Structure 1
Amino acid sequence: MAAESCGSRGASPPPPPSSAGGGGGGAAGRRRKAEAYAEVLRRIRSGGYGGGRPGLEDELWAHFQGLPARYALDVNVERVEDVLLHNKLLEQAREPMNGLVFDVRPSQVVTPEDSTGFESSTSFKQEEQDPQSSAFTSRDQRPLYEIIFACDDKPKLLSQLTLLLGELGLNIQEAHAYSTSDGYSLDIFVVNGWEYEVDILRSALRKGIDKIKYRAWPLVQSMAARMDHRPMEVSPSSDFVQIPADAADVWEVDPRLLKFERKLASGSFGDLYHGTYCSQDVAIKVLKPERVSVDMLREFAQEVYIMKKVRHKNVVQFIGACTRPPISCIVTEFMHGGSIFDFLYNRRGKFQLPDVIRIASDISKGMNYLHQINIVHRDLKTANLLMDDQVVKVADFGVARVKDQSGVMTAETGTYRWMAPEVIEHLPYDHSADVFSFGIVLWELLTGKLPYEDMTPLQAAVAVVQKDLRPTIAADTHPVLADLIQRCWQKDPALRPTFAEIVDILNSIKEVVRSSGHHKRHPGRSDSGRRRGC
């Protein structure tokens, strides 16, 4: 299915219908998208669908803009749950390890006997019909089901889906196929001919989809087999990590062009090397083959997926990745200054106040960019902040995630000394957890000390949650920075600033500090701003 250009995801809320905003389908199409968006949003706000959730407006607008104008004409705006389900499935399909996702539910759609199916002008609106109408009485009255598929748009996939439905004995009464502007498809079928429970239909569909996944998404299915302790089918096309393709970005690295020079670090699951790629200095993060697991492969694929999306002067630059045997690795630019952690604790370095503000500004700019594109880092710490030529960049996206539709996550991810209390407690969290970690990093930059250095990581985590413990802010800390640190590590995530606000705060004091001749400390800070010590 050819993708239709319908504007970009993440666009701002729509202009008035008469203006030239949006994309795809001409002025009438843009107007219809804006009208459908406005009506669905109005119903969400008035109908208890979570209308107060942060980011809902942008998310909904991006959903309509990413689909062709025909979608806005077809969808029944009175059934808000339809739109939310379609958006949810597309977001799930964008996760690299999901591949093809689907949903099935009973439908009340009634289509005339002569409906032709694909690209039908009849919408899939689920409306109550008059039992006496000729359309209702003249057709097969067996139960109708709506089956929705969302996936990375692949050649011949639509034909495979229709073939699957036919193999299950389903008769397609109506079908709609939409391609998004970022290369995904949303395919909606209304079928009959199924005489059993919907759960049995769902199970039958899942088995059929598994077979499709073996061909189109080999890593997804092979990992599922391993997690279920089933024999894994191996073929020439399924023995490497599958990352969603991007026609505009050639990132697969030929391992023969990599030269390994020296090992920089070694961990339980991988090693980090300094090397070259096509004569360029690079860092090479290599998975240890003997330690590869399902979770490692998932994180590896997620990291490549995220890194190939990001471009910012304060985010380490992705060069490429090797996803085919005999090596699995991620190649990034090499930062000659090393990590801030190494500088502070191994080289015993110290930062003067102007440098602290410059470094904190670089970090906050990189993080603000990541949050703007819905990426939550989840492990922000000095070891993942790299220095080079008077610039600091955010690195290591091994546990980063694209924020899901609900905007929250619950897994305990990160490093205890920098971890937000809600993450430690396995409570729902979002991008504000990164802000908490930044507060700890800023304190480190000022003090040159390891957070909670007299405690084990686990002891520190317990104290943060149970005693609301934070590192001690020295009395002579610059008052603006002391206030910023305290705001960043507030227990209530809603009270923490955004990185956009942090950038502005740091910019406001940068010139003042530079012109005043301040060094590391600002004298005269009262004890009133101090928190309990470790």
Structure 2
Amino acid sequence: MSSGGCSSDAPGGGGDSSSSSSPAPSPARAADKEKQREKARVSRTSLILWHAHQNDVAAVRKLLEEDRSLVHARDYDNRTPLHVASLHGWIDVARCLIDHGADVNAQDRWKNTPLADAEGAKKYNMVELLKSYGGLSYGQNGSHFEPKPVPPPLPNKCDWEIDPSELDFSNSHIIGKGSFGEILRACWRGTPVAVKRILPSLSDDRLVIQDFRHEVNLLVKLRHPNIVQFLGAVTERKPLMLITEYLRGGDLHQYLKEKGSLSPSTAINFALDMARGMAYLHNEPNVIIHRDLKPRNVLLVNSSADHLKVGDFGLSKLIRVQNSHDVYKMTGETGSYRYMAPEVFKHRKYDKKVDVFSFAMILYEMLEGDPPMSNYEPYEAAKYVAEGNRPIFRSKGYIQDLRDLTEQCWAADMNKRPSFLEILKRLEKIKETLHSDHHWSLFNA
């Protein structure tokens, strides 16, 4: 078969059968043939984009086998079939296109890559697939749906960039440790602060840097009395550091370990503070799901334990909600097993109600004095809960309204769990009833 023939270019497929002595085609006829070729090319481009949109992997494969160059087809917005598949989360179509040589970092007219589209559409399985093939998140993060361009997450110079020479570690001590690094108490311009410092060995790890930048970008936007206040970050030098206010009271985990069960009055006040912070985070349309709400990530403002603040947003996710019933495809065992919602443990779709479940487990622990499922190892506890079991109420004088609220918050069906705004209303009512009662001996029995 001749590689130089042109018979396959025309839509009808038949070549010119005239002999070599035939006169050369007229300019008009040549122009007509070029138009037909262009029409055929446009038609095939439309077809592959359409089949990619329809999740028809067989049709996409057939077109690519006929003409491999179609993998680079572009529409009027410079979007490739891989952009289309990524936006809709069609994994099989994307794999087929990548196998045929699709450019995972092609950019459309908004400068979005397929990965940026997948992130913008919250197609998390697609995000993982594209990253595994070297996909990068250029552009506006799928923001061609947005009327305004989204600014880059971290400008080079910003008012919160802290010069590391301003941080005084001379009297510092470690207040927390993790796989990423450590949290230290230090001083910044004479003020005690908490510094999350990334291990130098991880400072070049792409995923660690990505998570660090994500947390910084999230914290910059948060302003609430019950959320740990972000003060600044070191992003231009190593080690990378994130600086927040220092809360003298330590974390709720340590407090409960020392105090045991709390009085209903204290437990309700603590629960109100947590619920206020979480109601702020869950505010639509920009919902922040904490995904790791547990006593270690709830901090006491001072040693008098007057107030609580929610902290540690390393695992949080900012979700743009189109409507209040959106469910996000964010699967995987994210967070701490003992406080983990069953849908997360089972790798199911989940939404912001995972935080409500974790809140219920903390409320139980404050009232009972023991962590939920304390006789189980954390993983076994999560497995036991995922099978439909729940912690047992043992304390005497348990307030029925609080027990009812806790049980609703850890409902197996996430749609039956109340929102934090509803939880706030319920807690306020229980608090009013408590104050009008004054039968404290009943609760301390």
TM-score category (smaller protein): 0.5 to 0.7
- By how many angstroms is 1:269 displaced? 2.2
Unaligned runs of 5+ in 1: 1-136, 148-167, 177-197, 231-241, 525-534
* Conserved 8 A contact 1:399-1:413: yes
* Conserved 8 A contact 1:252-1:323: yes
* Conserved 8 A contact 1:303-1:397: yes
1:282 equivalenced with 2:193 (yes/no): yes
Instruction: Provide the rounded CA distance (Å) in 1 between the counterparts of 2:261 and 2:74.
Output: 71
1:264 equivalenced with 2:163 (yes/no): no
> CA deviation digits over 1:421-472, x for unaligned, max 9?
1111111111011100000001111122122111111221121122523243
* Letter of the 2:351 counterpart: D
Determine the structure 1 residue equivalent to 2:221: 309
- By how many angstroms is 1:521 displaced? 5.8
The 1:213/1:270 distance shift into structure 2, 3 A limit, reads farther
Determine the structure 2 residue equivalent to 1:378: 291
Instruction: Provide the rounded CA distance (Å) in 1 between the counterparts of 2:366 and 2:441.
Output: 10
> CA deviation digits over 1:37-88, x for unaligned, max 9?
xxxxxxxxxxxxxxxxxxxxxxxxxxxxxxxxxxxxxxxxxxxxxxxxxxxx
* Conserved 8 A contact 1:341-1:382: yes
> CA deviation digits over 1:95-116, x for unaligned, max 9?
xxxxxxxxxxxxxxxxxxxxxx
Unaligned runs of 5+ in 2: 1-34, 50-70, 80-95, 120-127, 135-150
3-state DSSP of counterpart to 2:183: strand
Q: How does 1:218-229 map to 2 (within 5 A)?
A: none
Q: How does 1:278-357 map to 2 (within 5 A)?
A: 278-292=189-203, 293-345=205-257, 347-348=258-259, 350-357=261-268
Task: Say which of 345, 360, 366 aligns to 1:424.
Answer: 345
> CA deviation digits over 1:362-394, x for unaligned, max 9?
100100110113100000011100011422110
Task: Say which of 42, 49, 60 aligns to 1:143.
Answer: 42
Instruction: Provide the rounded CA distance (Å) in 2 between the counterparts of 1:299 and 1:515.
Output: 48
Deviates more, 1:468-477 or 1:496-505: 468-477
3-state DSSP of counterpart to 1:403: strand
- By how many angstroms is 1:300 displaced? 1.3
The 1:204/1:420 distance shift into structure 2, 3 A limit, reads closer
- By how many angstroms is 1:412 displaced? 1.3
Instruction: Provide the rounded CA distance (Å) in 2 between the counterparts of 1:455 and 1:171.
Output: 56
1:465 equivalenced with 2:377 (yes/no): no
* Conserved 8 A contact 1:477-1:521: no
- By how many angstroms is 1:296 displaced? 2.3
The 1:519/1:416 distance shift into structure 2, 3 A limit, reads farther
TM-score norm. by structure 2 comes to 0.64
- By how many angstroms is 1:283 displaced? 0.5
Instruction: Provide the rounded CA distance (Å) in 2 between the counterparts of 1:322 and 1:446.
Output: 40
Instruction: Provide the rounded CA distance (Å) in 2 between the counterparts of 1:412 and 1:171.
Output: 38
Determine the structure 2 residue equivalent to 1:528: none
Instruction: Provide the rounded CA distance (Å) in 1 between the counterparts of 2:180 and 2:157.
Output: 31
Determine the structure 1 residue equivalent to 2:18: none
1:451 equivalenced with 2:372 (yes/no): yes
- By how many angstroms is 1:252 displaced? 1.5
Instruction: Provide the rounded CA distance (Å) in 2 between the counterparts of 1:413 and 1:520.
Output: 41
1:407 equivalenced with 2:317 (yes/no): no
- By how many angstroms is 1:322 displaced? 1.1
Whose radius of gyration is greater, 1 or 2?
2
3-state DSSP of counterpart to 1:450: coil
Determine the structure 2 residue equivalent to 1:360: 271
- By how many angstroms is 1:520 displaced? 8.6
Determine the structure 1 residue equivalent to 2:310: 394
* Letter of the 2:385 counterpart: V
Instruction: Provide the rounded CA distance (Å) in 1 between the counterparts of 2:441 and 2:413.
Output: 29
* Conserved 8 A contact 2:78-2:107: no
Instruction: Provide the rounded CA distance (Å) in 2 between the counterparts of 1:316 and 1:325.
Output: 24
The 1:518/1:425 distance shift into structure 2, 3 A limit, reads farther
* Letter of the 2:355 counterpart: D
* Conserved 8 A contact 1:446-1:520: no
> CA deviation digits over 1:185-239, x for unaligned, max 9?
xxxxxxxxxxxxx9489956545559x899xx9xx9xxx9xx7699xxxxxxxxx
* Letter of the 2:391 counterpart: R
Task: Say which of 487, 490, 496 aligns to 2:417.
Answer: 496
- By how many angstroms is 1:278 displaced? 1.7
3-state DSSP of counterpart to 1:491: coil
Task: Say which of 153, 164, 172 aligns to 1:255.
Answer: 164
Task: Say which of 144, 154, 160 aligns to 1:245.
Answer: 154
- By how many angstroms is 1:172 displaced? 9.0
1:511 equivalenced with 2:432 (yes/no): yes
3-state DSSP of counterpart to 2:197: strand
* Conserved 8 A contact 2:402-2:430: no
Instruction: Provide the rounded CA distance (Å) in 1 between the counterparts of 2:246 and 2:440.
Output: 30
Instruction: Provide the rounded CA distance (Å) in 1 between the counterparts of 2:351 and 2:423.
Output: 17
TM-score norm. by structure 1 comes to 0.54
* Conserved 8 A contact 2:196-2:241: yes
Instruction: Provide the rounded CA distance (Å) in 2 between the counterparts of 1:458 and 1:381.
Output: 15
Instruction: Provide the rounded CA distance (Å) in 1 between the counterparts of 2:74 and 2:432.
Output: 70
Instruction: Provide the rounded CA distance (Å) in 1 between the counterparts of 2:208 and 2:173.
Output: 24
3-state DSSP of counterpart to 1:271: strand
